[in-house]
Chain A
């Protein structure tokens, strides 16, 4: 059994005439918490969707939990949690109905955790019984995260999960991520544009550019390496923002 939880080999994907993924190779080990970075339109969401089998690839092979994506067992499918970029989903249901709906779709469901998160993230009885359409953007995003965490996933894929959250909401979410999910050994791939959040959570980062992972490694090592490459003379330390600009320009 391989220690890689996600394996992507030579993955290519085109939209019309535009190449989005270009023979991409990528591996994510079990328990790794990796931040996926790239400029707008670099293909981060597409990469995540291909990784989960939500989009067909033009070439290449993808395996999750050591199983080819096309033959993923139900047991392993039940171990995946996904927070898409769009959080305005199932708007015709109430949060209570939506959570009950997904509970019916998964063999394992952590009711206690759901209740704790709902309370901690400020959902009262009134919120739980009004249509999701009437929740604010931040509330919908929190709900989306709770849904993805509720079945205790072993792989959590988060596509800009905190974009609609205020600083307090981001802090609460990151706290949850660090305290419970990371401690439990969950593998996490998440994309964000808020680099300070990434620095708080991710031990590793990967940069996507021109359809390929152009740089990947432990965040500290990358920052250190980029620093040394600036001439070897220790002046100011390189920030993640500077590294992002250099890696993706």
Chain B
């Protein structure tokens, strides 16, 4: 009876995860199919994989450059977001500033085009369209509030008594932060860093307008493959796999904190 019950439970679980697994299976397997296998009806589910699509995407479409662009922008905006956001998050956690939290949360509700249009006009004037600087600044709009809010919740979990004890022992404020608070909020730093990297890597709308031939990021490049040519699904799905895989690998490390990250620290996972 007990065995039967757990069998049914796993059966239900299997049905629940099928859609999730299937879509990723379809994406990854599609990248290894020939055009003939892709357009065949009924669809091919099992076949001998072949890496021609990958070779073609990498060699013919300048994919390396787009990957590099995405990486540079994501890394730069993450770095700045952390440098600015960690002290701010610490300050918010220690001095209880509800207004700042509220305003940063509201900044998430605003339609992102609202940020984009004024920046497009300004960047055009300053010649920052199609530059790493412009894209990094734009991505910070999304990344910085996340880092600040997330770090403030992680710092709140560092007991103040520990800091006090260190101060009584003669440590300076800077050293208390460096050797007590920051190490204890280590998971927060890792989560913030990975999340803001991923957000930037996935960013579509800002990059669509503010990037150009020199700084095009991968999502925009893939979108352009799709619109300018006859749809070559094999190559597209191979490209989709290559964009997504780094993100999935990174998020595995922080899946415990992802709920907190995506609810801006409001809910804990």
Whether A associates with B in a native complex is no
Where the two chains meet, the residues of B that have a C-beta atom closer than 8 Å to any C-beta of A are: none
